[in-house]
Amino acid sequence: MTSPRPPWPPGVESYDYALFGEVEKRPLSPIRKVIGRRLSASWTHVPHVAHFDEVDLAALEALRARLKPEAEARGSKLTLLPFILKAAALALKEHPEVNSSLDDAAENLILKKYVHIGFATDTPIGLVVPVVKDVDQRSVLELAGAIAALAEKARAGRLALTDVEGGSFTVSNLGPLGGTGFTPTISAPEVAILGVARAGPKVVELDGRFVSRSMLPIVLVYDHRAIDGALAGRFVQSLRGHLTEPERLCS
């Protein structure tokens, strides 16, 4: 049986892993250090709770196929993300407590009248979160263009401060890499984040029959100081409704 690693002696902040074999020491990038500090602070100070659900994508995929030619004519690739941002914006307007922040003393809830949604983007220097402003006031096709432009700036390392500040909610979409589910860490001082995993076929009951549908796993992770389970459930129910009846996203 392998012996457990001995505890670090008092005052020692690292361990000599080379005692057991060859190692390589790779310094963390500056952005990785910043991400680490922020996520550690969020996890330490924010009580995270996760609410899981699934979305039937049949109607949404049909709408996306219909809108793809127009999106391509505009020079945009129409993924699921613009629909998810738009649905989240509508749900946030219906449940404004989720579109909020706690003040420094955690005694007041700051309800935001604007809807600026960040989306986590993988780049060569690490994870960054560009923010799409006024999501509730933009069409799905406009959102597709804004997302593409910000993602390209992020990958090229050309994001300005104004491109990453002011977010009121965040979506972390792992797409084809997303597995069956995950729990993202809240980007404090926001009070919630939506995680989107990989869609896949699943047998479900529909009108008394068992059929195969493409189902999208989602999770709302929320700050329990600001949001209780009932509100989280209503928000996710609203979000799911907008995605399963997507025509309302284009109205």
Note the pLDDT tens digit of each residue in 158-214.
999 999 999 999 999 998 787 899 999 999 999 999 999 999 999 988 888 999 999
45 is catalytic: no
Query: Once rounded to an integer, what is the mean pLDDT over residues 68-83?
Result: 93
Distance CA 86, CA 107 (A): 30
Number of domains forming the structure of the chain: 1
Catalytic residue among 45, 48, 116, 224: 224
Q: What is the pTM of this model?
A: 0.89
Q: What is the CA radius of gyration of the chain?
A: 21
Q: Judge whether residue 157 has pLDDT over 60.
A: yes
On whether residue 189 sits in a domain, the answer given is: yes
Structure confidence at residue 10 as a pLDDT band (50, 70, 90): low
On whether residue 12 sits in a domain, the answer given is: no
On whether residue 205 sits in a domain, the answer given is: yes
Q: Looking at residue 90, which CATH number applies to its domain?
A: 3.30.559.10
On whether residue 42 sits in a domain, the answer given is: yes
Q: Nearest 5 degrees, angle CA 39-CA 147-CA 177? A: 60
**Amino acid at site 1:** M
Distance CA 192, CA 96 (A): 12
Query: What residues make up the domain containing 202?
Result: 25-250
